[in-house]
Structure 1
């Protein structure tokens, strides 16, 4: 199978950047004026730019979008982004996957405040462990941007930004939720300034969520699975402290840790087995930003990203996978002229794995990168190059070249070409009886063309045609003795058309995305696993006095999944919020309104209709 979608399943079968940037506070959601174009994103270029100016397809989920969403975690939120599909092997906290434009989870990079947090064993991050209570906003970049971030950014980048404090007196806020499956969630936080002049700001947020859940696997499809309900417990904390020394220099620290305990089913076990995984995702960074001259700004970051997954069966720990990512970043932004910016920098990455299942040497990566963004009359240009030197397999080069022509103040056409790579994961290299230390990175080349309309009255509408060709893909090939060994033999192609809209119809906020794609495994001449050829999302929310009401519609066509076919589905979610006072509010939501029975992964159950109510306090 080319592009394996789950390392955990494979084992069962086999046996800052933006932390360094002055992240800008996003303005309040505008109404129907041109101010709607002022939201700033940083992920598409590694520097701040208006959302509508981004050459790669970029989705921004701000504070209001998060409040409107029915999701509790980041995975559920980004399911509303165009070109994004998700999978879950059960309920909250379960093993999950994200597919951006048909790329596997290991081929899409996840950052928290610029910090890598993926498992070096699997090569993917645990998005289902990241709660929205600590999240300020999320950016999703579709397409090949390895030239900015290195390995894994073939399908795109998901960047999560934690909450920061503003220059106001400390304010306290909290939420308490109860709902179906005996779900309980509590969150609390405080943020503001520690001094009268607002030079030292902070934010602290904690949360706890517990649910009894439901049985992850349908016993009719997997008789060996335990039919009991699979619960989940998550406890998370995030904190930020920033001090502004002068008008030109500031520094600070950021920290996020999410601990999850997930009960899961094993299709290959006994119906009486009790299986749990103890997970942790951590991001910690120290940063400094300085303006050396009127044109030259520099950023320093020292960071640690951590992923832990310890599996327990019947009260006994059976496996341990603890990953560490240590990053050291120096980035420089040089303003050549009013509409021309040069970017250059150096990054060092150390990756290590502590596991009782495999032994792997530490990996060391030295990277240099440069980029340019500029405007010549009606033309916009973005160019990026990057070289990554790995201690275990050598060097890898990436590049990105994009061009846009602005016909007038609203219409623009753009095109880009990019080359990228994915470094082999430690499982690919060293896992017993399947790893192959001689394999090389996966490669890809992408081309896309887009037409965009942007205005304050309707927002940003975009249609993008794209194609990504994968070569040197890591496939697991039988050696004739019952084992499957990693080899660079796979080829794949994903081509399609993607439409997106983030904007307004009058006073109603709209977010919509639709994708038609052809995700083909060219080695085996079949569709790539769990990638639908057609899928779409639509959300709409509107305020009426003290009320804000809305809904989401998520629809997908059929998908192949390990010698079976998952049927298409459509799920509708509704939400409503009432502001009791300026500080107190009450909200309710209904998930899966029509109680659809559907699958995101073969044999795994999904939640039926559920209702949830939340009481919150947040002073203005």
Structure 2
């Protein structure tokens, strides 16, 4: 069984460096001039503009300045310059985010927001819910980074907005939308381990039609992901083929129809013992149809029908699991002056086929929201009730308040509840119990944030307690003599996140430091594969025609097991990147990851890539 969870402890001296950066950003803040409006800046690899809107916090576009939430934004420019090999690698450079992986890209991957379980993050692609009713949580290894245009990461529970799954946070992923004119692009690159990438696409708009199409292909010979005596000493490579389409029709000034499609097919190799080389075949698709209507200056609606499929198969060792998710959402918004009221009706249908399991369930939800933003005060209230066809009803709520102390400084506080329904595998497999209860959480957090020009700083203190945590316990009333899933555990995710950006001359700095304690409340043990400290520190600047940068990632000691018996050592990674425009329409990107060739593990007895190089060229007419 692949474990989808991480954790850690002591940190290298980078912790002090990142803290110093945060303090420097804070000190520099007092020396800056004033902003005209109070804002909440989301921490990122770049500073977002004040006019940016985000969707993740309330499921409807809102100005960044109106939010009382801990959010990061990653745009396409940042994705391309990162040179990241996968979505999890990119997210792992953001505040409050860790990941673990069983080998190289294409293998089982877990992402942890504020130390919470990977199944506690709700993931959407263009509004389409992505999840596995087998393992629980999104199949991160099957989401193609090359087709993503924008990512929003909301840290903290959001059950009162999204219903089941969002105990730890929400990740909203968006593909490109067509704009005026015709914009084609082609990019190709190569790197260590025989890695080759090619991406191509086009977007544009003409009259009432806008469109965006994209294709991506990546393959690699890989490296020996299982360097132990009981496994084959061969390379475990992968290949992915992905595509997306997004087409919109502006019927008139008030009505828009839109369809989105993303599909990805991943084949990756893994060792299943000596002389046993297996292939994992992973297919993901996400389809969405949307009707957006602006009925008046104050009232608008959104009607969405979504469908996703996650299929995982292994050969020649026989295993097949398929999750189908269907969603229906009718969202209403009324804006009157500084007040925003919302009401949503949602139906979710889950279906799992994992022989001999062939089960379905549904959830019907109603959500109400109220927002206010004026005179330096921001209020956000949300209430939701979900009725599950299997276990009955569940209510969640949240209250958030923000106050602009000065035009630059803002304080926020929030409390909220969330839940995650047991997966169909948890309930109906040979290890399952049909009587499992939903996992539920209570979260409280306070934050202090600063924003001024290219400088920002935030300190966020949080505590999230989970009851009825589902874990694999000893033998019980299920069919398996080896053990059963049960609501036996309680967990607490608490800590503080510091993040900041600041410009010194021509150099832009960014960094974050997470001090956390993800633990099992019953045993007192640190949760598996999660660190108690992790940090990032980066800088970039212009040198003649080149943009050059460096970043450092550090993580403290983690444990590979819930019993804290197998130690995963701390590590520090150094990455370098550079880009330049070769000609008017051509851009060169070069990157070195893990410059010092650090030997480290994200999961016990699974190797990581070591030092890697990548060079790519992109053609995009200006």
Question: Would the TM-score normalized by the shorter structure come out above 0.5?
Answer: yes
Alignment counterpart, residue 176 of structure 1, candidates 158, 177, 188: 188
Write the mapping of 1:274-423 to structure 2, written as runs, cut at 5 A: 274-312=277-315, 316=316, 318-337=318-337, 339-356=338-355, 358-423=356-421
What secondary structure does 1:409 align onto?
coil
> Is it true that 1:479 corresponds to 2:475 in the alignment?
yes
Q: Is the contact between residue 5 and residue 112 of structure 2 (CA under 8 Å) also seen in structure 1?
A: no
C-alpha displacement of 1:572: 1.0
Task: For 1:589 and 1:418, locate their aligned partners in 2 and report how far apart those are by CA, in whole Å.
Answer: 41
Correspondent of 1:104 among 100, 107, 117? 117
- CA change 1:487–1:502 in 2 (3 A) is same
**TM-aligned CA deviation for residue 4 of structure 1:** 6.4
Per the alignment, in what secondary structure is the counterpart of residue 66 of structure 1? helix
Q: Which residue of 563, 576, 591 maps to 1:574?
A: 576
The number of residue pairs the alignment matches comes to 577
Which residue, 143, 146, 168 being the options, matches 2:159? 146
Distance 1:332 1:544, change over 3 A: farther
Choose 538-547 or 238-247, whichever is displaced more. 538-547
Looking at structure 1, the residues matched to 268 and 619 of structure 2 have their Cα atoms a distance apart, in angstroms, of 29
Equivalent of 1:156 in 139, 147, 169: 169
Counterpart Cα distance in 1 of 2:558 and 2:88: 19
Q: Distance in 1 between matches of 2:493 and 2:191?
A: 40
Residues 189 and 617, structure 2, Cα contact 8 Å, conserved in 1: yes
Moved beyond 6 Å, runs of 4+: none
Deviation at 1:322, TM superposition (A): 0.9
Question: Residue 4 of structure 2 contacts residue 108 of structure 2 at CA under 8 Å; is this kept in 1?
Answer: no
Give, in whole Å, the separation in 2 of the partners of 1:298 and 1:508: 44
**1:132 and 2:131 aligned:** no
1:360, 1:426 within 8 Å by CA — same for their partners in 2?
Answer: no
Q: 1:437: which partner in 2? A: 434
Q: TM-score, normalised by structure 2?
A: 0.90
Deviation at 1:408, TM superposition (A): 1.6
* In the alignment, structure 1 residue 217 sits paired with structure 2 residue 214: no
Kindly indicate whether residue 458 of structure 2 is the aligned counterpart of residue 462 of structure 1: yes
Show the counterpart of 1:27: none
Question: Which residue number in structure 1 is paired with residue 617 of structure 2?
Answer: 615
Distance verdict in 2 for CA 1:281–1:35, change over 3 Å: closer
Task: Please report how far the alpha carbon of residue 423 of structure 1 lies from its aligned counterpart in structure 2 after TM superposition.
Answer: 0.7
Secondary structure at the aligned position of 1:177 is classed as strand
Aligned to 1:247: 253
Report if aligned partners of 2:4, 2:109 keep a CA contact under 8 Å in 1: no
Q: In structure 2, what is the equivalent of residue 231 of structure 1?
A: 237
1:516 equivalent in structure 2: 515
Is this contact kept in 1: 2:463–2:492, CA < 8 A? yes
Match of 1:94 among 75, 84, 107: 107
C-alpha distance in structure 1 between counterparts of 2:48 and 2:357, whole Å: 54
Tell me if structure 1 keeps the 8 A contact 2:353–2:359.
no
TM-score after normalising by structure 1? 0.90
* Secondary structure, counterpart of 1:77 in structure 2: helix
Gaps of 5+ in 1: 8-33
CA distance in 2, matches of 1:204, 1:403: 41
Please tell me whether the aligned partners of residues 51 and 58 of structure 1 are also in contact (alpha carbons under 8 angstroms): no
Q: What is the SS of the residue equivalent to 2:427?
A: helix
Q: Which residue of 2 aligns with 1:447?
A: 444
1:93, 1:581 → 2: CA distance? 34
1:48-63 to structure 2, matched below 5 A, reads 48-63=61-76
* Separation in 1, partners of 2:445, 2:401: 11
- Alpha-carbon distance change, 235 to 565 in structure 1, aligned in 2, over 3 angstroms: same
Where does the alignment leave 5 or more consecutive residues of structure 2 unmatched?
Answer: 7-46
> CA offset at residue 610 of structure 1?
1.0
Q: CA RMSD in A?
A: 1.9
Does 1 or 2 have the higher relative contact order (CA < 8 Å, sep 6+)?
2
Q: Is the 8 A contact 1:310 1:317 kept in 2?
A: no
After superposition, give the CA deviation of every residue in 1:69-115 in whole Å (9 maximum; x if it has no partner).
12032211111111100011000111010111110101111111111
